[in-house]
């Protein structure tokens, strides 16, 4: 976490949490969800609409700042620590999106290296990897490299249901859906 963020947290310890304003999709892209996007529906799931995604963040320095300050709380809710405020993240499928380098090294959407532990394939054909950082989905552009790892016997994916993964790996897809309606900063 950035030192400036730690200093802001110490200076303003009681800033309300923010829910629903930031989303992470299955390709590692960040989405800013203003009031209009939130009114259009949930970020992910069967009721999600294209307009409920919001606007994709493109500013490289902002994305780097989010990556450096991305973490989870004890309840498995992922957030971006924005100064003294926690901005909880709506997840499309998982808290991590894995990229596979040509040499087979795994790298998270945040740029952090990861170590493979086990793998899963859900009912939609998405490939998930449990790594030392946690559970994530393999980026669609890297499925050829993933297929090479499976064919070589380095990864042995097991079948799973996507809806079971959050409980199994301790993460929350929609912190906004679990927030108290009267919580300050929630929508």
Same domain, 136 and 83: no
The reported pLDDT for the residue numbered 14 is 73
Same domain, 18 and 88: yes
Is 184 among the domain residues? Answer: no
Confidence of residue 187 (pLDDT cuts 50, 70, 90): very low
Same domain, 78 and 106: no
Residue 48 CA to residue 102 CA, distance in Å, equals 34
Same domain, 70 and 140: no
Same domain, 88 and 112: no
pLDDT above 70 as % of the chain: 90
What average pLDDT score do residues 153-175 get? 97
* Mean pLDDT over each residue of the chain, to the nearest integer: 92
Per-residue exposure over 52-85, b if at least 16 CB sit within 10 Å of its own CB, e if not: bbbeeeeeeeebebbbebbebeeebbbbbbbbbb
Is 58 among the domain residues? Answer: yes
| Residue 137 belongs to domain spanning | 96-169
| C-alpha angle 17-23-24 in degrees, rounded to nearest 5 | 125
Please classify residue 110 by burial: count the beta carbons closer than 10 Å to its beta carbon, then call 0-12 exposed, 13-18 middle and 19+ buried.
middle
Same domain, 113 and 137: yes
Same domain, 46 and 67: yes
Q: Hey, which bits of 25-126 come out as E strands?
A: 30-32, 55-56, 70-72, 78-82, 85-91, 96-100, 106-108, 113-114, 116-121
Same domain, 83 and 101: no
For the cut 80, the answer to whether the pLDDT of residue 79 exceeds it is yes
The reported pLDDT for the residue numbered 7 is 67
Q: Which of 8-17, 33-42, 80-89, 168-177 has the lowest mean pLDDT?
A: 8-17
Q: Hey, which bits of the chain come out as E strands?
A: 18-24, 30-32, 55-56, 70-72, 78-82, 85-91, 96-100, 106-108, 113-114, 116-121, 127-131, 134-138, 158-159
For the cut 50, the answer to whether the pLDDT of residue 183 exceeds it is no
Total domains in the chain come to 2
pLDDT tens-digit series, residues 32-72: 999 999 999 999 988 899 899 999 999 999 999 999 999 99
């Amino acid at each position: 976490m950035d030192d400036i963020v730690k200093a802001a947290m110490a200076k303003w310890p009681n800033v309300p949490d923010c829910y629903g304003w930031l989303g992470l999709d299955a390709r590692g892209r960040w989405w800013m969800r203003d009031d209009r996007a939130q009114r259009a529906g949930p970020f992910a799931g069967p009721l999600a609409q294209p307009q409920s995604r919001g606007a994709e963040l493109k500013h490289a320095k902002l994305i780097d700042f989010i990556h450096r300050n991305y973490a989870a709380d004890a309840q498995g809710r992922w957030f971006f620590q924005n100064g003294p405020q926690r901005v909880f993240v709506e997840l499309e499928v998982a808290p991590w999106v894995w990229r596979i380098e040509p040499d087979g090294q795994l790298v998270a959407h945040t740029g952090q290296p990861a170590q493979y532990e086990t793998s899963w394939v859900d009912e939609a054909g998405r490939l998930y990897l449990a790594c030392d950082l946690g559970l994530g989905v393999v980026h669609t552009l890297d499925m050829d490299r993933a297929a090479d790892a499976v064919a070589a016997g380095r990864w042995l994916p097991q079948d799973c249901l996507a809806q079971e993964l959050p409980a199994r790996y301790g993460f929350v897809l929609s912190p906004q859906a679990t927030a108290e309606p009267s919580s300050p900063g929630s929508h």
